[in-house]
Structure 1
Amino acid sequence: MEDLSKRSHLLNRNGHYYLRVRVPVDLVDRLKKTEIKRSLKTKDSKEAKARLQLELLKVEEEFQKLRRQLLKPTPSASVSTPLTNHISNTDLERAVLIWHRKESAKSALEDDQLRISISPTEKDAVLDNLKDDLAALSNADEVINASSIQATANKILDESAIDKQTLNREQAQYFYNLIRQARLEQIFESFERFGEFFQRKPSSLFTNTQALAWTGESIPSNDVTLEILLQRFRSAKRSDGLTEKSLAGYKLTFDFVVELFGKQKPIKSLTPADCREFRDKLAQLPSNAKKKYPHLTLMQAIETCAKGSTEALSATSVNGHMKNLSAIFNFAVREQLLDTNPANHIPQLKVKRNKKGRIPFNHDELHKLFSTPIYTGCKDDEHSYNVPGENKPRRHRFWVPLIALYTGMRLNEICQLFTDDIECINGIHAIHVRVDEDETKTLKTDHSERIIPIHKNLIEIGFLEYVNKIKAQNKTQLFPDLSSSARDSLSDNFSKWFNRFLIASNLKRAGLCFHSFRHTFRDECRAHNINKEIAATLGGWKHSEDVMDNYGMGYELKVLQDAINKIHSDLQLIG
């Protein structure tokens, strides 16, 4: 666990970020705890830092509210006592910022729902209303005396427990102007969601939340740049639920298109010829260019590759980035920033078909794999996992391949397991493959969520004892020693290690990788004549398009247990 709380109130637990704040001494008795810990509901460090600021403001506001409650007069008091003797500008800013974030989130949801089916005429009406609102807020002297601002101010004061009577005239004027600035920012955010952009100057309060004051100069649609488009694309994908791991797959596409054309290039000036150039240039880029040449630009790396010093990206990779580019431009078309997608109809590069797809392990390979030192006795399971020794460590490198062998689970599904995902249901021990409330875990498809009985062989070699040991340590993650990759993925590094493990064990051949366990599992189901629907239920595959298959509760766990115990029942492993 990476504890960042001492310097930033930020806690990283198993790749997921939390706010952590120590409760002031004067409030410990009232709150009955010494610290506050809340999920920030993200695994992205940048997003966590942004959300942290708002959550810190909320916590501080809660502390202030509790203190004011403690200062409230008792019913027997003969003289009325104010809630607080002094309100600072910082208190007012904090209250407005908390209200602004809530209103912005609510407005974003309403706008996104409206944009799904809005017609051009309706969109024009929305923009006209926003322009009217903008004009109404343009005169600060008139606005801060408006009844709507006064009503909002009273609402914010009530929610924050700030006593209006304690505000002097200057503070009231400052407070109302803050609300005006927040309303302006909310309007500009709505404009941008509907495809209108403005050049604005930073406002001191909203700088950290990207709130800006209007200068009155709009950006014509012809001048929407690549930079603006990519920012909007990222934001929209996050709000649509795309994970940071999936969004990371666009990084090279983003970087390359910006470096090739320049971030200030108007998107309406891009042509099919430009997209063809993107494809052809990308095909000259060295594979893993940023890792091999961290001090070179992508274009400089291409020059290095041209000298024959390294291998270029595969056609499959180039075609994948072309799909990303087309997805970005399709988004621009849907947002009415472009009339057509310039990347449409650009032919893909021809992929050489000399590579085999993923293949299953054969019987001899499985015996050899599970007879390696990490299973029979090794020096250690870090750098000397393939060196015979007296140690028999039972950690992730031991268990993850075994779980894949006997369940057919995907690597990421195994790596992200929590201890409470191992359950005993009606006397049957099972693995519950599912997501969690904090969205720490993800699943590939809707069919991936399932309950898999634990194979008798796994139980015999001590899997349940391992689970109980980790639970006794109060660990959340079933495999707490797994390290996250730069993409915040628990499976990336393990996948790379397993590939090295296959090579070190003289097992590596074309098409053989960790995912081969899943192919092996499917072949075992066929070999034992396991019903296709049961096999699909165990493996998290979609069985058919038949509507009838969506009815009922599915197979009883005992039926699934009987089926899964047939898998590799004759494979003898050393416990």
Structure 2
Amino acid sequence: MPKRFQSVEARKLIQVSLKTNDLREARLLTGKMRADLHSEWEGRLNGSASPAAYPPDHLDMTLEATEAAYSRIRPKLENLAKQQELDNQQAYDAYLRKLRNTRDDFLRAKACKPLSVWSDLADRRISKNNWILPQGSEGYDTFVDMIAEAAIEAFNIEIARREGQFAAEPSSLVVKAGLKAKDDTAKDGETILDLFDRYAAQRLAEGRKREDGITQDRKVIDSFAKFVGPRKSIKGLTPADIRDWRDTLAALPPTYQKAKAYEGLSMRQAAAKAKAIGAKTISPVTVNKHLSTLSPFLGWCVTNAYADRNPCDGLFFGIVKGKNPRPPFSKGQLEKIFASSLFTGFLREGQEHKPGIQRADDWRYWIPIVCLFTGARVGEIAQLRIEDIQLDDGIPFLLIRHDESTGQRTKSGASRVCPIHSELKRIGFLSFVERQRSRANGKATCQLFPELEPNERGHIGAKPSRFWRDYLKRIGVKSGNDGLGAHSFRHTMADALRTAGYLDDEIEVALGHNQKTVTAGYGRVRQGTVKRINTMLEAITHSYISFSK
């Protein structure tokens, strides 16, 4: 028990079985439990251990009235009938008369002055839920009246069924709405976020998701849960709920949560404000990305019997497939890029796009050039360590490493080799590696680009990616949302290899794409030796570009 909370928690040690032998799932559950406990203890310290009091809305009162009266009385009446000796018509008629008389007494009491039992029940429910609903107020009288109506309906249904109407269903608006609300309310431990925690734990255990991916997914699911209601039952979700969330998303401005103009507003309020002022909204592609997070989770809920169907089906925006969102650079664009000031001399830090005499010898200079000659992803180059520059049969190569223990990752989840092009050697990349080794006092496990750090999502390539997009705009190569960026070097390499005569199944090996063939699953040696890929890359030349270093 943390010392901070020992004054409000008598237990010195809390031991709980998480009912799992999976370490990843246990960590996830432990983190959530710890957060919940700390929140509870903070509340006690601040004198607010119970939830903040609030005035109930009409649906709150409807649900509580149905639960307090109808749902409690119905099973009691059924048990009462079982206890009676109703073995002849006379006894049966007497039982029915008793039910009718009680029901009629309730009706008279409801029309005149509510019975004290209903007021007492209302008081207990108000206290339990910490509602602001003072006696004598209009809301209080409405709640007591709802309880009375729900109690009377319990008798109506029992009488109807004893009279032979076995399929009798409630006709009371209060009870009908209350039962629907109950069906739409999640059971304890089965809220949207509760189930997402189980989904996340399973995906982590299966290796189908990474921690940073789960973190981003949770933001989407949390936003959805707030939109439909945190207690909304997964089984009660309808396509209309998904449609409303999707359309509200589509009306929101990009990054509206960070804009002061929308601070404190709900999604619906922010969307309404954006529409009123004619603000730019997020793209259908982005909306579909949110749906692509929600839909697999709801599909998992169906598979695991928490829901009967996936309400996302058919609600994705119909975006035309086949567009290339990351186009390759043209020859003219490459010439302009590498003749620009970052590579020939710039003014000062933060003004790399303006000509000057300052020269860079860090990630700003080397990452785009390495991406050009390897086709590797910017994050894969940004995460390199000095020890990842290796030699095989006289050929220097980069080990594009996937190793969770060092925090290095590839999209495919597998390490691969990438030979260092002869032009990269000529420009001086290997000399740069040696300079970095010297600066690190020979410690090979140090980062090749030590200035780079992972962002809040754990992505070390975020900073160079953002820098490069901004730089391309400043030198007039990139315009708006044309898709050009660091990833365009990868597409440039793919086209260059095709032009050199290689087929796509060979190119995917050089670029490190997953090979989804039967043969790819055989053996342990990964496709593409250093020598083979080196031959492919050396077929690529950029003689029209002048590199000066």
In proportion to residue count, which structure has more strand? 1
1:236 to 193, 202, 213: 202
- For structure 1, the residue ranges without an aligned partner over 5 or more in a row are 1-52, 54-91, 113-184, 193-198, 205-219
Is 1:269 equivalent to 2:236 in the alignment? yes
Q: 1:434 aligns with which of 377, 401, 404?
A: 401
User: Percent same amino acid at aligned positions?
Assistant: 26
Distance 1:489 1:542, change over 3 A: closer
- Residue 319 (structure 1) aligned to one of 264, 267, 288: 288
Once the two structures are overlaid, the 10-residue window that deviates more, 532-541 or 278-287, is 532-541
Aligned length: 382
Report the residue type matching 1:357 in the other structure.
Answer: P
CA 296–351 in structure 1, closer or farther in 2 if over 3 Å, else same: farther
For 1:332 and 1:425, how far apart are their aligned partners in 2?
Answer: 49
Instruction: For 1:378, give the aligned amino acid.
Output: F
The one of 329, 335, 354 equivalent to 2:298 is 329
Q: Distance in 2 between matches of 1:529 and 1:352?
A: 30
Matched, 1:567 2:481: no
Partner of 1:450: 416
Give the letter aligned to residue 384 of structure 2: L
Distance, in Å, in 2 between the alignment partners of 1:200 and 1:497 is 41
Cα distance change of structure 1 residues 458 and 229 upon mapping to structure 2, 3 Å threshold? same
- Give the Cα–Cα distance (whole angstroms) in 2 for the partners of residues 521 and 304 of structure 1: 45
Preserved CA contact (<8 Å) 1:525 1:567: yes
Match in the other structure for 1:523 = 495
1:481 aligned to 2:481?
Answer: no
Query: CA 1:549 to 1:527, structure 2 compared with 1: closer, same or farther past 3 Å?
Result: farther
Match of 1:432, SS? Answer: strand
Tell me if 1:396 matches 2:363: yes
Aligned equivalents of 1:437, 1:496: Cα separation in 2: 24
C-alpha distance in 2 between matches for 1:359 and 1:449: 26
1:104 shift after superposition: 5.8
- Measure, in 1, the Cα distance between the counterparts of 2:358 and 2:37: 64
Distance 2:517 2:307 in 1: 36
The equivalent of 1:465 in structure 2 is 431
Output aligned runs, 1:218-297, within 5 Å: 222-223=187-188, 224-241=190-207, 242-293=209-260, 295-297=263-265
State whether residues 371 and 490 of structure 2, in contact with CA within 8 Å, keep that contact through their aligned partners in structure 1. yes
Deviation string 1:373-396 (CA, Å, 9 cap, x unpaired) is: 11001123x311112121211111
Give the match's secondary structure for 1:424: strand
Are 1:499 and 2:447 an aligned pair? no
1:361 to 323, 329, 334: 329
Q: Indicate conservation of the 8 Å contact 2:341/2:353, yes or no.
A: yes
Cα offset for 1:461?
1.5
The partner residue of 2:22 within 83, 96, 108 is 108
Residue 535 of structure 1, CA deviation: 3.0
The answer (yes or no) to whether the contact 2:284–2:319 under 8 Å persists in 1 is yes
Contact 1:532-1:543 within 8 A present in 2 as well:
no
Stretches of 4+ aligned residues off by more than 4 angstroms: 103-106, 199-204, 220-223, 352-356, 531-534, 548-556
Q: In structure 2, what is the Cα distance between the partners aligned to 1:548 and 1:494? A: 33
- 1:379 equivalent in alignment to 2:347: yes
The residue identity in structure 2 corresponding to 1:479 is F
- Rounded to whole Å, the distance in 2 between the matches of 1:303 and 1:539 is 45
Separation in 2, partners of 1:370, 1:105: 58
Shift of 1:560: 2.7
Residue 557 of structure 1 corresponds to 530
Shift of 1:519: 1.2
- Radius of gyration: which is bigger? 2
Match of 1:351 in 2: 319
Range with bigger deviation, 421-430 or 546-555: 546-555
Q: Deviations over 1:342-390 (max 9, x none)?
A: 33x343223378976322111121111011111001123x311112121
Question: What secondary structure does 1:417 align onto?
Answer: coil
- Counterpart Cα distance in 1 of 2:259 and 2:39: 39
Distance 2:283 2:40 in 1: 47
Task: State the alpha-carbon separation in 2 of the partners of residues 300 and 108 from structure 1.
Answer: 42
Is the alpha carbon distance of 1:255 and 1:308 closer, same or farther for their aligned partners in structure 2, counting shifts above 3 Å? farther
Give the Cα–Cα distance (whole angstroms) in 2 for the partners of residues 432 and 265 of structure 1: 48
Shift of 1:106: 6.8
> Which residue pairs with 1:410 in the alignment?
377
Q: Aligned in 2, Cα 1:476/1:426: closer, same or farther, shift over 3 Å?
A: same
Instruction: State the Cα distance separating 1:408 from its structure 2 match.
Output: 0.4
Aligned twin of 2:307: 338
TM-score, normalised by the number of residues in structure 2 = 0.61
Give 1:547's aligned residue: 519
CA-CA distance at 1:245 after TM superposition: 2.7
User: Residue 505 of structure 1: CA displacement?
Assistant: 0.8
Q: 1:307 to 1:251 in 2, by over 3 A?
A: farther
Do the aligned residues in 1 keep the contact of 2:386 with 2:447 (CA within 8 Å)?
yes
Distance 1:109 1:333, change over 3 A: farther
- Distance in 2 separating the partners of 1:316 and 1:520: 24
Output one character per residue of 1:52-90: Cα deviation in whole Å (capped at 9) or x when no partner.
Answer: x9xxxxxxxxxxxxxxxxxxxxxxxxxxxxxxxxxxxxx
How far does the alpha carbon of each residue in 1:244-295 deviate from its partner, in whole angstroms, 9 at most, with x for none? 3322432442232122122122333222222222222222222111122462
Residue aligned with 2:399, SS: strand
* Amino acid across the alignment from 2:547: L
Q: Secondary structure at the match of 1:266?
A: coil
The secondary structure found in structure 2 opposite 1:451 is: strand
Write out per-residue CA displacement over residues 86-108 of structure 1, whole angstroms, 9 at most, x where no aligned residue: xxxxxx989x97xx8xx969723
Name which of structure 1's ranges 549-558 and 325-334 shifts more when overlaid on structure 2.
549-558
Gaps of 5+ in 2: 3-10, 42-184
Name the SS for the 2:21 alignment partner. Answer: helix
